[in-house]
Amino acid sequence: MDEIVSSKSKVVSERPTREEAEEAVKVLIRWAGDDVTRPGLVGTPDRVCRAFEEYYKGYREDPYELLSRTFDETDGYDEMVVLTNISFDSHCEHHLAPIIGKAHVAYLPESKVVGISKLARLVDIYGKRMQIQEKMTSQIANTLQSVLEPKGVAVVIEAAHECMTTRGVYKPGVKMVTSRMLGAFREDGATRREFLSMVKCII
């Protein structure tokens, strides 16, 4: 049994064996119309499984534990903490197609701050799961709000979705922008505008 982290709680799920996963990849290759025994594809099931371990490693990491170490010696710092252009890659839960984008994350401390690398890692934890962008945006913001209890949190994500650039409607160059504003960023227009001017996003 492997623990798979889902949002705040840990949900234990029965995970297939590696052998079962590789057999499933072989089935999909055959279904696509190719021969799994030809030289170029013999090692593909193993490579795909190893890639999946990398693509979806966020299920095996706990975002709340990541943020558990905080600091309160800030000499009264009470302005925004903003990290912009956090690159990430994810996969859409509908087609398993790549989502490539950037996240901009900010919070207004009440008393606790966290190491800035943790903000980037938080984006990666939620990115390395099967996602839709709206949910990922909310998860990042809600987790920061829950753990740090700041005066406010703001998250903006802009990303290209290959499920609509390489299939379906075939619209290359299109980006989706989502935002989640909590606390002061939602209630105070000046605070929100200051953040958006920093990330150069127009919502």
Q: Which of 70, 72, 61 is nearest to 144 (CA)?
A: 70
Task: Decide if 49 is catalytic.
Answer: no
Please state, in angstroms and rounded to a whole number, the distance separating the CA atoms of residues 197 and 187.
Answer: 17
Identified catalytic residue from 22, 49, 61, 93? 93
CA distance 4 to 54: 14
- Our answer to whether residue 201 is catalytic in this structure is no
The 3-state DSSP class for residue 164 equals helix
> d(Cα 42, Cα 48) in Å, to the nearest integer?
11
Question: Which member of 91, 92, 104, 131 is catalytic?
Answer: 92
133 is known as an active-site residue: yes
The catalytic position among 61, 163, 194, 201 is: 163
| CA 21 to the chain's CA centroid | 24
Give the CA distances from residue 70 to residues 93, 118, 198, in Å, rounded to whole numbers and listed in that order. Answer: 32, 10, 25
Query: 23, 94, 134, 187: which one is catalytic?
Result: 94
Amino acid, res. 99: I
Using CB atoms within 10 Å of the CB of residue 42, give its burial: 0 to 12 exposed, 13 to 18 middle, 19+ buried.
exposed
- Does the active-site annotation cover 93? yes
Instruction: Write down the catalytic residue from 95, 110, 162, 194.
Output: 95
**How big is the chain, counted in residues?**
203
> Does the annotation mark 131 as catalytic?
no
Q: What is the C-alpha separation between 113 and 75, in angstroms, rounded?
A: 12
Tell me which of 91, 104, 133, 139 is the catalytic residue. Answer: 133
Question: Catalytic positions, please?
Answer: 92-95, 133, 161, 163
